[in-house]
Structure 1
Amino acid sequence: MTISKKLIRKIGEHLKEKSQSEEDLQILNAYRNTHVLVMNTLINTIKNKTPKPLFIARRLKRLSSIKSKLKRFSSMQLDRMQDIGGVRAVFKNKEQAKEYFEKIQTLYTNQKRALKITKINDYVNQPKEDGYRGYHLVFEYHKGKEDLKTYKIEFQIRDLNQHYWATAVEIFSLVSKHNLKSGEGEIEHKSFFYLCSKLIHNEADDKDLKQMIKLNQKHKFLSLLSSINLAFSKINTKQKDLYYLIALHLNQKQLSFYPFNQNDLKHASLLYKELEKDENINAVLVDIDSVKNLKKAYPNYFGNAKEFIKLVEKKLAKN
């Protein structure tokens, strides 16, 4: 079924007005699922390129995140949203991440490919105001299947330190119930993570260090992050399903996993849609090659900020 841009734009307006119908959500779910095909197109081209990432993960944007983005940006139109489908590659160090970022750009100068790069954001050399760092590329499908043309996905490239920082921000956001990366939350909370980003990347001066230590003593950020303890359902670590639906039950601090094989995307997306109706459940549908890499790619869903804490404490000890 081909879904028109006009219809998706209209559904986006309904979401902004909180007047969406069940039919709207069904169409949006189908539209969101179609981005899997575009992500697969990208993965099939880049999967054997070097340097090899530690892992590559894919995810479909959560309905709550779609709503939040439409609310934050009044001029945003749903059919123009660039990150409904998201691919992320994480590398051992910044040198590998940079090399890969440059190679991908060169690779896609070939206009015969199904995808083309339409936007590049270098948040490594120009970090976001909150301290976020990484490389972002937006791809648009422009050759091949007619019904996929103009569909966009976002490709993020990070090194491990950048990934640890971003994960810690997401974990704290879940606990505080304020989405820091969307600009929500208290000023001192955002300041702490901004200063952590500077520290991790060796840009913090004495004034920054004193302020960071003061904020941590006041709010106990590192202790809070280390004390988060989620109960999660047992996962078969030998299982290699294509899709995992992760559901974090916020009130119970309970994490559930639903594995699906390659032919079950329809069933996975239907369950995803149902879980998203509950405001106390933070769910995401991801595609990853193993449970081991699932934990590395999405440690925020496991409440695991250990690597971030170790990194910050190690940097502080050197100063």
Structure 2
Amino acid sequence: MKYGRHQIDKAGEIIMSAKSSKEYDEAMQKINEWRTLHLTALDNLQSEILPLLNQSNITVVLTSRRLKRITSILYKLDINPEMRLGGMQDIGGFRIVVNDINALQNTKKVLTKQVPQSFDFVKIMDYVESPKESGYRSIHFIYKYKSTDENINGAKVELQVRTKLQHSWAMAVETAGLITRTSLKSSMGSDEWLDFFKITSSLFAIKEKQPILKAHIEKKYDMYCLMKLLYEANVTFNHSDTLKALRVSGIHAQKENFKNGYYILNIDFQSKFVTIQAFSKDDENEASTAYSELEKKVTDEGNAVVLVSVPKMKELQEAYPSYFLNTSEFIAAIDTVMENCKKLKLISRNVK
């Protein structure tokens, strides 16, 4: 690539400990240029992966691409002192959402046998078979891009594949993380929220006939015990009510609707207002520059910004409901559990 791993590692070290604004700005410019180079690899990964799935009659519900946020990069470096920026494999991410667990398993079979021609396969992490401690479930494939252009040759990108149910859980965690200003998906934050999402993760796993969390297996929890725990936690801490109250108050979007275009989503937490800037697929450098400029103004308490790409603008809310504070699908599943608890009389006497 244009920047070697050592150069990016060094830039990452500088932004974590820069003693002058000039030093910081120069390192950040290098990181932004390096991050932008991953867009071409993501474009090609999408164009080569989707035909493979189509040939196997696998229906894709949603697709999206994104560049990792600077705030996420800094956080990851901060909590992992041994990690180096040049070794991050998810700077560029491509996500596929499928209908159900059967489609997910078929996708895994196809992609473990067939590697996109412009890529080398690096590794797979199956967080469905072995979910993360937080409850996160998805299958990740890491690829290395092969190109005659030395500027982008060797770029590593990540493909995430998950079911609609797993996607609703992950987006609810992101939404709660945004409003509590904690990285719940990294098991950071209040125990009340973390336990709530762990319980729902295991219940969703049971619905999809997958393994529940190791911690729940060790405690010998079954479905009824988990349902009861969810009901009690939800009544005590009002998690679903909190999420229900978090809809955005307004959306301001440019009228342009580009096919596979780039969109910058900027959510203001105080006004709960989302601004969307649109860029054509050919304007990726302009989009990346605008993204970088907005990131400089980001404050964890005030707003969050992300650069994404979807086939059509109208699919933004489905692909990134967390940026619209929309957890309706997740809440619907929780409401069903709550009602079933009442019907099955699983509620403790001291819980009203």
Q: TM-score range by the shorter chain?
A: over 0.9
- CA distance in 1 between counterparts of 2:281 and 2:314 reads 19
Q: 1:123 and 1:229 mapped to 2: Cα distance? A: 29
Q: Which amino acid aligns with 2:10?
A: K
Give how far 1:16 is off: 2.4
Look up the match of 1:189: 193
* Correspondent of 1:268 among 283, 287, 290: 287
The number of equivalent residue pairs is 316
Considering only CA atoms, is the larger Rg found in Structure 1 or Structure 2?
Answer: 2
| Structure 1 position 139, deviation (Å) | 0.8
List alignment gaps of at least 5 residues for structure 2: 207-211, 213-221, 342-352
**132-141 or 157-166, which moves further after superposition?**
132-141
Report the alpha carbon displacement of residue 116 of structure 1 after superposing the two structures with TM.
Answer: 1.6
Taking the aligned partners of 2:335 and 2:18, their CA distance within structure 1 comes to 44
Pairing 1:55–2:58 present = no
Task: Kindly indicate whether the alpha-carbon contact (under 8 Å) linking 1:131 and 1:198 is maintained by their aligned counterparts in 2.
Answer: yes
The one-letter amino acid paired with 2:318 is K
Residue 224 (structure 1) shift = 0.6
User: How do residues 80-99 of structure 1 correspond to structure 2 at under 5 angstroms?
Assistant: 80-99=87-106
Say if 1:148 and 1:236 are closer, same or farther in 2 by CA, change over 3 A. Answer: closer
The one-letter amino acid of 1:265's match is E
Does 2:11 correspond to 1:6? no
Asked if 1 retains the 8 angstrom alpha-carbon contact of 2:248 and 2:274, the reply is yes
Name the SS of the counterpart of 1:86 in structure 2.
strand
Q: Is the 8 A contact 1:117 1:139 kept in 2?
A: yes
| One of 11, 28, 31 as aligned partner of 2:31 | 28
Superposed, 1:98-117 pairs within 5 Å as: 98-108=105-115, 113-117=117-121
TM-superposed deviation, 1:236: 6.0
1:258 counterpart residue number? 277
1:209 maps to 227
Identity %: 30
Give CA-to-partner distance per residue, 1:250-294, whole Å, 9 cap, x none. 233221000011222222112111111121221111111112221
* C-alpha contact 2:94 2:159 (8 A) present in aligned 1: yes
TM-score, scaled to structure 2: 0.85
- Distance apart, 1:59 and its partner CA: 0.2
Shift of the alpha carbon at 1:298?
0.1
Q: Counterpart of 2:307?
A: 285
TM-score, normalized by length of structure 1?
Answer: 0.93
Superimposed CA distance per residue, residues 154-206 of structure 1 (whole angstroms, 9 cap, x where no aligned partner)? 10000000000001101111111111012211112100010011112225533
Alpha-carbon distance, 1:105 to partner: 1.5
Q: Secondary structure at the match of 2:37?
A: helix
Q: Would you say the 8 A contact 1:141–1:152 is kept in 2?
A: yes
Q: Secondary structure at the match of 2:263?
A: strand
CA change 1:101–1:216 in 2 (3 A) is: same
Alpha-carbon distance, 1:311 to partner: 1.3
* SS of corresponding position for 2:305: strand
Q: 1:301 & 1:267 partners in 2: Cα distance?
A: 22
Q: Which residue of 2 aligns with 1:120?
A: 124
* Aligned AA (1:77): R
Mapped to 2, the partners of 1:256 and 1:74 lie a distance apart of 34
Contact 1:244 1:257 in 2 (8 A): yes
2:253 alignment partner, SS class = coil
Query: Is the 1:165–1:197 Cα contact (8 Å) retained in structure 2?
Result: yes
Matching residue of 1:42: 45
How far apart, CA to CA, are the structure 2 residues paired with 1:311 and 1:104? Answer: 30
Do the aligned partners of 2:133 and 2:187 also contact (CA within 8 Å) in 1?
no
Query: Which stretches in structure 1 are left out of the alignment for 5+ residues?
Result: none
Equivalent residues of 2:121, 2:144 under 8 A apart? yes
Aligned with 2:167 (options 163, 174, 178): 163
Q: Structure 1 residues 237 and 305 mapped into 2: Cα distance closer, same or farther (>3 Å)?
A: farther
Secondary structure of the corresponding residue to residue 117 of structure 1: strand
Tell me the SS of whatever aligns to 2:270. coil
Cross-structure match for 1:222: 240
